[in-house]
Structure formats: structure tokens, C-alpha cells
Amino acid sequence: MINKVGRDIPQEILDLTGKEVFQGAYAKQGVEYKTATHTVAPVMDPSYSKVVNSIEEVLKKCGIKDGMTLGFHHHFREGDMVVNMVMKAVHDMGIKDITICASSLGKANDPIVPYIEDGTITNIQSSGVRGKIGQAISNGKLKGLAIMRSHGGRVRAIESGETHIDIAFIGAPTCDEYGNCRAIGGKSDCGVLSYAAVDADYADKVVAVTDTLVAFPNIPASISMTKVDYVLVVDAIGDPNKIATGAAKPTTDMRKLLMAKYTTEFLVHTPYYKDGFTYQTGVGGASIASTKLLADHLRKDNIHISVGLGGISKPMCDLLDEGLVEKIVDTQDFDMDAIENIKTNPNHIEITASEYADPFNKGAYVNKLDFVILASLEVDTHFNCNVVVGSDGVITGAQGGHPDTAAGAKCTIVIAPLLQGRIPAICTNVTTVTTPGETVDVVVTDYGIAINPRRQDLIDCTKDVDLPFYTIEELRDMAYKMVGEPDPVQFGDRVVGIIEGRDGTIMDVVRQVKDFEF
């Protein structure tokens, strides 16, 4: 069945998943649903202890068995040790057919690939995957289906009951013996535990995994003891040197600096640029550079950002400390500066992933965004974006908050260099659609800017601005002229994964890669 972004979703995938095709970014507005339920074993006896000393013990206490779904968060990023240690124990106990529902999986989790190959893990639900896990999925090693979800979409899937987590493992930098988890104060500070909140709310069993047991009460807690069944103490939950991988160095890449300049010039000429606007940007070089340029405008124009949101890094924290940003609402910290900043600046506030981006609650922060500045691997002439599948057809990225913020923001600006190496980033059809073009307003390349024709208001208000405006087709043609129109990636027939829309519908499918045939 053809969906709203023109992708043909195979009937057998619709049947298998019970899902609908994507029908538009706001199709589910106000459509009532019943929230999920979960099982709770009450702790009324004051003498009851939650502390356990081995993964095997806690897995047994939680009733681990074949076919269960385990929840994980990715706040330790490339330093994460929790997924690997839990899955090794699950594997060693001979458990099969596990579904991993993680907020994301990265290269740190490469060691679980053998458990995919041997059937310990048969389904993966994640924002995205990188490294060897992505290759394994794209090569058809995963028995079941990979589901790629946005950060908001994961909350939706869990709270709507579509995904039921049997046991959630919450890596906690500090934890007391009753389960109060904080993201700071231990050996592996990660700043916030935002993605884990929904696991704590909806999983049957919740295990806090910590390497730093602290005195009760460890508060204010990111995850409350009232939601934690067991506290597992281990030697190490993360590699502190790899947690803050997003450390942004000022870029010297002329293409990125040019795109940053275009972005800022465009932004300040829209009507949303006024005192109290809200703003999210990523941690790519062009985004960071654009935030720095924006700060100069803010100072000159005496304009303040009321809320900066999303994944947070040093440049945004500097603006907070300077008073140019009034509040940061934080779901993820990309560098040590951000982790330190949330400890010291009371206007830097942890929020849950639900508060950030969930499309199925009663209103998330993304809905209040004026601007979001995003990167993309590919953008097509329908303004559809692809942030998950590489130009070689292999899954190598993550949805993150991309579709959530694009849907929410009044002005969504996507930055992409016209060419990624020898591959055109602006193309006729993206390899895989992750973010629907109806939610993308402006595309900024190093060769020029295209405004979505749906946004005549933005075209009108910037028509006199001295910027190289083109149609999206013109940008594509420029790219194709330079490097030629690339042959499409050749896929096999088998669907190995789906790109889930944030509302739970199917945006696109990902097929197994096959060797290129001449």
C-alpha cells in the first residue's frame, strides 16, 4: 500500500506488524487511545531489600525467559557497558528470542552481534543502529524485524502498549539501595536519564544497574525508587572517556561555515526570530557554527532564547550561562561541559523523553519549537529526509529526535552539503524516508537554499534577503550535474527493518542489501 510519502509498504509487513501506513504528520491528532498497563509487585514490607549482586541473580528474580523484551537506554553512548553485560548473561543462561527495545544502540554494542547471529536476540527496536549491528541487520542476520523509531516514537510505542517491556535495565551513575537513580555524582556521569523514564513507568520489572551505590535518599532522583524493583551493583556501567563523544570542536570546514552563515541569515529574517523564541540544534559542525553566529545576532538585537532544547552541548550551555538562553530542557548530554552545566545551573533542567518529543502525550516540547536545525544524509525533491540508511543501503544512523522536532517546529531547517563525498545529498528520491517532507521547511546547502513551496509565508518574508535561493529541483540538478545521477542502491527482497513514523505508522521499509550486480 502506498503511504503519504509515496512509499509502497508491502502488505505482508502490514499484516506482520499490525500497523497502518503513514497518513500524514498530524493524522493522529486527538485520536484517543488507551495507555498500556504493567504488572507491579508492591513493596509494603519495610524490611524488604532490593539489592542483588549478580546479573544472573536479578535475571532469575525477574523471571527471565525466552521471548521477553528487555529495555535499555543509551545515555552512556559510546561508553555503554550495560547492554553488553546483560546480554552476555542472558546468552550464557541459554535464553533465546529476546527483543531489545533500546533508546539507541551504537558501536559500543558491537559485542552483541554474535547474540543476533545465534538467535539470542531476534528483534531490535531502536532509534537506530551503527557499526556492526547495522551491518548485521542489513545483511539479514536478525531473524525478526528491526524497528527504527524516533525518540518520541519509542515513548509512544511503550505507553500505547505496542511494545511491552518485561524487564528494563537502567544504568544509573548513582543509585541508593532503594533504587533512587541519578545521572550525576558517580564514575560515569551522563547528565540526565531522560530516555529511561518511560521504561521505569511501563516495564513490569525495573532493574537499576549502578557502579556507585550512595546513601539513601539519592535525590532529586531522575528515576524514583517507587518504580525500581532491584538494585544491581556492578564494577562499571560505562567508560567515562567515551560517554561524552559529541565534544564539538569549532569547525574550520569552509562548506560548513558557509551553511552556518546561510542558516543564521535565513533564521533572523523570519518572523519567529523575536524575543523569547525557542530553539534546537544538533551537534554537527555546521549547527554549532550556526549557533555561534546566532549568538552574535542575539547580543546585537537584545533578543533572548526562552528555551533551548534537545541534546545539549557546550555552545548552548555557554549561551545559558551568558543569559542569552533563559532555560535549557535537556534529554541528552553530548559533552562533559553539558554534564557539568546541569549540575551547576538551575535553569538547565532535565526532562523526560516523553516531555521532549512524545507524539502521543498531551503536548511535548517539540510542539513549542520555533526553530530546529537538523542535519540529514539525504533530502529529496519532496523535502523527505533520510537519516538512517547510508548511501550503500546499510543501516548506519538513527532517527533520534529528527522526525519529532521537524513535526513540531514552526520552522524546520535541514542542513546538508550538496554532495556527501561523491554522492548527491539532494536527490530525486531518498533511499529511505525517515522524516516526511511536509514537516521540512527549508534546506540549506553549501550551494544555496531551498524553501518548501508549502511555506509561501517563509518565501515571502525572506524574498528580499541576500541569500542564494533556489528551488529544491535546481539544487538537485546542480548536484547531479557535478557527479551524475547515482544508480540506486540494489536491495534484495527481504524486508529487514521498518522506519516507523513517530505515530506508529510505517514510513518506509529497509531491505536486505545485496552485492552490487553489474
Place of cell 551491518: 135
19 part of the interface to its own copies, by CB under 8 A? no
Identity of the residue, 38 or 88, whose beta carbon is nearer to its own copies in the bound complex: 38
To its own copies, the closest distance from the beta carbon of 186 in angstroms equals: 19
58 part of the interface to its own copies, by CB under 8 A? no
4 part of the interface to its own copies, by CB under 8 A? no
Residues across the chain: 518
272, amino acid identity = Y
283-312: contacts with its own copies (CB under 8 A): 306-307
Backbone torsions φ then ψ of 98, nearest 5 degrees: -85, 140
Stretch that binds its own copies, among 28-36, 333-341, 411-419, 458-466 (CB under 8 A): 28-36
To its own copies, the closest distance from the beta carbon of 177 in angstroms equals: 10
- Bridge partner list, 411: 371
Q: Is 254 exposed, middle or buried (0-12, 13-18, 19+ CB in 10 A)?
A: exposed
411 part of the interface to its own copies, by CB under 8 A? no
Stretch that binds its own copies, among 4-12, 211-219, 421-429, 505-513 (CB under 8 A): 211-219
275 part of the interface to its own copies, by CB under 8 A? no
76 part of the interface to its own copies, by CB under 8 A? no
| Number of Cβ within a 10 Å radius of residue 235 | 8
Nearest-10 crossing angle of helices 254-268, 285-301:
40
To its own copies, the closest distance from the beta carbon of 45 in angstroms equals: 4
320-379: contacts with its own copies (CB under 8 A): 327, 329, 349, 352, 354-355, 358-365, 367-369
Place of cell 531522575: 222
162-191: contacts with its own copies (CB under 8 A): 178-179
To its own copies, the closest distance from the beta carbon of 25 in angstroms equals: 8
To its own copies, the closest distance from the beta carbon of 503 in angstroms equals: 7
Identity of the residue, 120 or 399, whose beta carbon is nearer to its own copies in the bound complex: 399
194, amino acid identity = S
Rounded to whole angstroms, the Cα distance separating 217 from 228 reads: 14
Task: Tell me the CB-side half-sphere exposure of residue 482, using CA atoms within 13 A.
Answer: 16
Rounded to whole angstroms, the Cα distance separating 458 from 411 reads: 9
- List helix spans (H) across 71-210: 82-92, 113-117, 131-138, 151-159, 197-202
216 part of the interface to its own copies, by CB under 8 A? yes
493 part of the interface to its own copies, by CB under 8 A? no
**Those residues with Cβ within 8 angstroms of residue 421's Cβ, 6 or more apart along the chain or in another chain:** none
| Number of Cβ within a 10 Å radius of residue 299 | 11
Which stretches of the chain bind its own copies, using CB under 8 A?
Answer: 25-26, 28-46, 48, 50, 178-179, 206, 215-217, 219-220, 224-229, 276, 306-307, 327, 329, 349, 352, 354-355, 358-365, 367-369, 407-410, 503
